[in-house]
């Protein structure tokens, strides 16, 4: 820092030491004023503030008549919280000086007699630099808050105790509240958002997540949740960003329905083409090269046919009313007989499948047929992702008043950059089995949206993924 711009106030009842310290600091380029007792020092601090030319550093003796250094420090910080202070103390008062640092806000302390005036100059320079860093950080924070306040996205941040530290105007309007700062997020945010935070934590270690939710005004909000961590890795809270994607969702819905309509129209000619391929294969059975080409075409067209069927299913589920929801016993849904097709796939891939289920699980509100379809799809996905002779685990338990089903595989983890797009309706295999169409996760999400549940995806650091779904145990979720 440029010392010519740094104002320092030196306070000590020993006039000779005061003069000596001030001379040394002036030689170092600092702007210095002196005071021989605490009351005079306070007046000079007040005048500096009034003239908008405050002191950066206060150097004060610990033991002074009338007002000691600690009392001066406390009163000075009440006037100017950004003031940094250095306590000069005798060895016998060292404990008080340390206490002043811990409790009263002193930046540093020096022992009498000073080893050298250079020691004082260095301490003042460090204190002034620290003060400027804090001022710059506060200014950056204020500019950031100003920017976030004026963005169209709704932004909420809370500390490690879930107390809201920042909420912009867009978020207040979305929550239909006038003031939420300083309040507990889990008790004062709308139920949809507080439940989302609970589920985010339950889904696994508060990893970055993005999820769509239906809002009370019939809009669709894309919610991004991230942990706030310190440099040492300690949790300092979380930040939530909500963006209205209603228009995009409507466009996607129109696109999906159009593709489903096209898929239905080509279903018949596609089936005829596959029949012709079968006949052609019979006529050219002696030609291995032609037979291989026909086999590949048959697989591709079969893949397209399955994609069209899955796309039609997604559209039909999304359009269906929620009138088939009923109380379902998961012990029945997750029985071996229900998973028989999946067991055949597990045997084919050589995977081991394990299942754990808590006793006395409550029933869930769901569409039984859709729930079975969803679970089969997730288990098939896990088996297809797993290494040969790997393991697929199904764990069912009660967390946060909801039933959670975790389906884990030991395949390659989903990249964080891919997480925002994992539920998109696409055409492809996404590295899964040849039977995969790229609509599996979109279908899972559509079914869960239909049943009032949620789906979360998390990956392990090296290998493995877990798809967690939560299902409501009451009609209102």
**Domain architecture of the chain: domains with CATH:** 3-146 (3.40.50.2300), 151-243 (3.30.450.20), 245-319 (1.10.287), 322-477 (3.30.565.10)
For residue range 63-101, list pLDDT tens digits in order: 888 898 889 988 999 999 999 999 888 765 666 667 666
Q: CA separation (Å) from 107 to 8, 100, 126, 311, 468? A: 14, 9, 9, 65, 49
> pLDDT value at position 125?
92
CB under 8 Å to 455, separation ≥6 — which residues?
A: 423, 441, 444, 445, 448, 467, 468, 469
Residue 327 tokens, joined: 């109380």
Say if residue 22's pLDDT is above 90.
yes
For residue range 145-191, list pLDDT tens digits in order: 666 666 778 999 899 899 998 888 888 989 998 899 899 999 999 98
Residue 338: pLDDT band (50, 70, 90) is low
Say if residue 433's pLDDT is above 50.
no
For residue range 183-234, list pLDDT tens digits in order: 999 999 998 899 889 888 887 656 778 888 888 878 888 888 888 887 777 7
Residue 240 tokens, joined: 């939530």
Average pLDDT over residues 286-291: 75
Percentage of the residues of the chain whose pLDDT score is greater than 90: 20
Q: How far is CA 365 from the centre of its chain?
A: 29
Closest CA to 381 of 315, 299, 442: 442
Strand, coil or helix: what is 477? coil
CB under 8 Å to 373, separation ≥6 — which residues?
A: 447
> pLDDT value at position 302?
72
Percentage of the residues of the chain whose pLDDT score is greater than 70: 81
What pTM, to 2 d.p., does this model score? 0.58
CB under 8 Å to 393, separation ≥6 — which residues?
A: 353, 354, 355, 356, 406, 407, 408
Q: Which residues pair with 394 in a beta bridge?
A: 355, 407
Average pLDDT over residues 340-348: 55
Say if residue 292's pLDDT is above 90.
no
Residue 343 tokens, joined: 């067991």
């Amino acid at each position: 820092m440029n010392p010519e711009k740094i104002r320092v106030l030196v306070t000590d009842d020993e006039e000779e030491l005061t003069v000596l310290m001030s001379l040394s600091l002036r030689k170092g380029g600092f702007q210095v004023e002196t005071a021989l007792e605490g009351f005079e020092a306070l007046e000079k601090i007040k005048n500096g503030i009034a003239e908008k030319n405050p002191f950066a550093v206060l150097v004060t003796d610990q033991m002074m008549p009338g007002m000691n250094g600690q009392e001066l420090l406390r009163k000075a910080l009440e006037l100017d919280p950004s003031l940094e202070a250095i306590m000069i103390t005798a060895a016998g008062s060292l404990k008080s000086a340390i206490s002043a640092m811990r409790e009263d806000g002193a930046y540093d302390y020096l022992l009498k007699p000073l080893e050298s005036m250079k020691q004082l100059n260095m301490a003042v320079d460090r204190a002034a630099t620290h003060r400027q860093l804090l001022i710059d950080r506060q200014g950056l924070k204020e500019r950031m808050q100003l920017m976030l306040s004026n963005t169209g996205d709704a932004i909420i941040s809370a500390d490690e105790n879930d107390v809201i530290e920042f909420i912009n105007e867009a978020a207040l309007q979305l929550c239909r509240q006038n003031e939420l700062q300083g309040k507990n997020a889990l008790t004062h945010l709308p139920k949809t958002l507080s439940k989302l935070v609970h589920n985010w934590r339950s889904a696994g270690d508060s990893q970055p997540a993005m999820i769509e939710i239906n809002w009370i005004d019939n809009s669709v909000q894309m919610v991004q949740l991230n942990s706030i961590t310190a440099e040492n890795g300690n949790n300092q809270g979380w930040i939530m960003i909500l963006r209205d994607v209603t228009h995009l969702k409507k466009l996607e819905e129109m696109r999906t329905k159009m593709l489903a309509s096209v898929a239905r129209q080509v279903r018949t000619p596609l089936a005829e083409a596959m029949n012709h391929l079968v006949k052609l294969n019979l006529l050219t059975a002696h030609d291995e090269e032609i037979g291989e080409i026909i086999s590949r075409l048959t697989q591709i067209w079969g893949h397209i046919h399955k994609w069209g069927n899955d796309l039609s299913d997604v559209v039909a589920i999304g359009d269906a009313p929620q009138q088939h929801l009923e109380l379902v016993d998961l012990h029945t849904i997750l029985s071996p007989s229900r998973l028989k097709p999946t067991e055949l796939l597990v045997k084919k891939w050589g995977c081991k499948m394990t299942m754990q289920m808590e006793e006395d699980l409550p029933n869930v509100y769901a569409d039984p047929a859709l729930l079975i379809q969803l679970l089969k799809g997730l288990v098939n996905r896990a088996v297809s992702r797993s290494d040969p002779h790997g393991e697929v685990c199904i764990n069912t338990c009660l967390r946060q008043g909801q039933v959670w089903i975790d389906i884990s595989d030991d395949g390659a983890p989903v990249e964080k950059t891919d997480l925002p797009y994992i539920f998109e309706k696409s055409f492809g295999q996404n590295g899964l089995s040849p039977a995969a169409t790229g609509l599996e996760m979109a279908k899972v999400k559509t079914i869960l949206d239909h049943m009032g549940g949620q789906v979360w995806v998390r990956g392990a650091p090296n290998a493995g993924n877990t798809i967690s779904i939560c299902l409501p145990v009451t009609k209102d979720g």
